Chain A
């Protein structure tokens, strides 16, 4: 799920950037530092949409670096248990398949793939139904449900299932191309 929230961060800036475009430097450094990171609490920071406020800078003793408390608005993405996501399959193996929904990696175990789908090894490993009508392979798009998340300090990993109503392949790369 995506959220638009305000986060705060203390930015350290080198004295050489002090000048007319200090604020710009600060923002660009913030973007570089924050975007794409993942915090266990808030999830992935997708984009910074604006700066709420920049606090008063504090000069660090000895280094000359200045610390600014910056409040910024950003879009975060955090997967939740029970959430339905659309994801792209990145890898298929006999244990299941991996899919990605933006920055989140989701693993769908073969226990959580409908029983009528079987693993076919070969050049393009895939899961196929017995009649061959549905096929999950690399680059397929699937709709899945998250049943478990593991949140580390720097990573979020999810376990998903497609063993439910209305879940499964939504577009097959083989059929479209």
Chain B
């Protein structure tokens, strides 16, 4: 701990000064009153001055250690010294017991005399001073020059003979206060208080540490302090004593040019590049592109000023010096957008590759799998292509494509990069677009351009984040119950088709959202909706609707839009809802090929089997309506078959307009016609009562009798 030692040292060091001034001790005291009068002229008379000084000195020494504190604090900046001074200061208090309170004048004089004292000393016994200084600081300089060796450090470790350290519980948030209380107590009680020191650490809540020989001493000291729970005193084991007061610094591996993320402050989450590192001051200079500039500006006028004074380098980057702790160096995955920002702003035309290479040094160890196609990016074998044969911890066995008689080459993952050729079907396995599949359109070094299967958009990702797949999964197309292209209800009045699903991971918080094309005919209103805001899926609900020429329309029919903004477009009906059609046209890229139109503004093209049937005069059984009529004519016997042949959806579809009898509930026995089906609810127009009732029947279909 060195604290008790420090104390001893401290008191020793005070000795010479005292002795130095002691020469005229008692005489000085006697003459003191006189010297007070001649105070101003005293400087001329050396002897008198000496006497006066000595007297003053003694007095002040006895009165308080205030001057020491004052002076030492100015001189010293070393931690150890500070500690010593503190101890010395404490000692004074303890020695003097109840200190007289200095009146103001006295205090000023004391101070002044001390000033004079030092000036005189300089002239008079400068050698003594030098010696003193040497004594005091010489040793420390040496220590500074040479790093303390391991053995020396070991010698400083506490032993069983040293006072022990006790952990004392106190009220949360009052740690410092308690420590001060103990200090005050030690001033008041002096040597009666047998604890050596007390320390409150900022990073340790609820506890303070007290250095004492015995537990009883701690208990005694804590007596009467209401913020301390003196029952909960614990001995800190010898081995752990050093840990209490040593501050562990996490090993931060930062290197110039590395990518980091800001951990806090205005630029939290921003990507930054390390420009300079100051290990001594634990500071790092980062270059960042303040993209949330505007947002912060919008936050308030007060912040505005900050922006005017922010220093910028030429390229528009913000250079900022921050402490090691406020940057996050591990697991930083810069996105392409962020990197591009850096690239654009620094106006490096041919810097792309350099930048990407620097990135590759920072990159996460790429995951290679057996069978991956790889290319060597470093070393003699650069540009050699091959297949991954075997993956070991740090080595990857690569079977080269050409020429070599070797079975395989052993490479480190850093020398390799995944290799893709245009046309490969791949899946993105990392980053924002995770799960998306697509074709490789082109490859630029570490970057791969991918054409997404679902949106036909171009995505730029790192080769490391891509994996070749054979299956044609269409990317993220399902979240919980909802799938891409599902018709969903948003609120009471609005509905739409999911045209895009994305799960976005930002700062470890996942957000799943999807784009929904709202069902407003003739308009393309796309809304970004969070998963929670989707009320329900509107599947299995089929409305009867007719086109402009009064032809029946059903899902999968081919229609042509003849009115409105989409005029001239043709497409397949994917959903029908309340007289609106959601038409899918693969030639039409915006909104993922979807458009919403009124059924009245469309005409049916040839296509669905249904259409031809209608024209042929409803002569086949594929029309549900016709089927129903058949059912009605031969009620009972065929209904089971019908149910078996068609899915529930078609069953529901068929039910609209059907003549039913209610089997259970209030309206038991009533006959009626099905008006509408919404989810699990059926609207039934009762025959007898001239009203429409809503029933929940669909779970128990058997409740319905045709």
Contact = CB atoms under 8 A, between A and B. Distances in A.
Interface of A: 14, 32, 62-63, 81, 90-91, 93, 95-96, 98, 105, 107, 109-112, 146-148, 150-152, 157, 159, 161
Contacts, number: 63
A107 B439 CA distance: 10
B401 interface: no
**Is the interface on chain B under 10, 10 to 19, 20 to 34, or 35 or more residues?**
20 to 34
A161 B449 CA distance: 14
A96 B451 CA distance: 10
Nearest to A151: B472
Contacts of A32: 609
Nearest to A98: B587
A93 B455 CA distance: 13
Given A98-B587, A109-B451, A159-B441, A147 B422 contact: yes
A111 B458 CA distance: 10
B641 A159 contact: no
Contact of A105 (B440, B586, B620): B586
Contact of B422 (A95, A111, A151, A157): A111
A150 B641 contact: no
Contact of A93 (B451, B589, B641): B589
User: What's the dominant secondary structure at chain A's contact region?
Assistant: strand
Given A95-B458, A109-B449, A159-B423, A150 B587 contact: no
Given A63-B645, A81-B423, A112-B422, A150 B453 contact: yes
Contacts of A161: 422-423
A96 B442 CA distance: 13
Contact of B587 (A81, A91, A146): A91
Contacts of B621: 14
Nearest to A64: B641
A14 B613 CA distance: 15
Interface string B413-442: 000000001111100000000000001111
B456 interface: yes
A36 to B, nearest CB: 10
Given A63-B641, A148-B425, A150-B472, A111 B441 contact: yes
A112 B451 CA distance: 11
Given A14-B621, A112-B422, 11 more contacts: A81-B423, A90-B587, A91-B587, A91-B589, A95-B456, A95-B457, A107-B451, A111-B442, A150-B425, A150-B453, A159-B422
B423 A157 contact: no
B451 A159 contact: yes
Nearest to A90: B587
Contact of B424 (A109, A148, A157): A148
B423 A62 contact: no
Nearest to A163: B422
A89 to B, nearest CB: 11
B366 to A, nearest CB: 23
A152 to B, nearest CB: 5
The 9 A-B residue pairs whose C-beta atoms are closest, nearest first, are: A147-B423, A148-B423, A111-B442, A109-B441, A111-B441, A159-B439, A150-B472, A148-B439, A91-B587
B514 to A, nearest CB: 22
Nearest to A40: B472
5 contacts: A91-B587, A95-B457, A147-B423, A151-B472, A161-B422
A151 B589 CA distance: 20
Residue with the greatest number of chain A CB neighbours at <10 A, chosen from B453, B456, B621, B644: B456
B439 A150 contact: yes
Contacts of A112: 422, 441-442
Nearest to A91: B587
Interface in B437-478: 439-442, 449, 451, 453, 456-458, 472
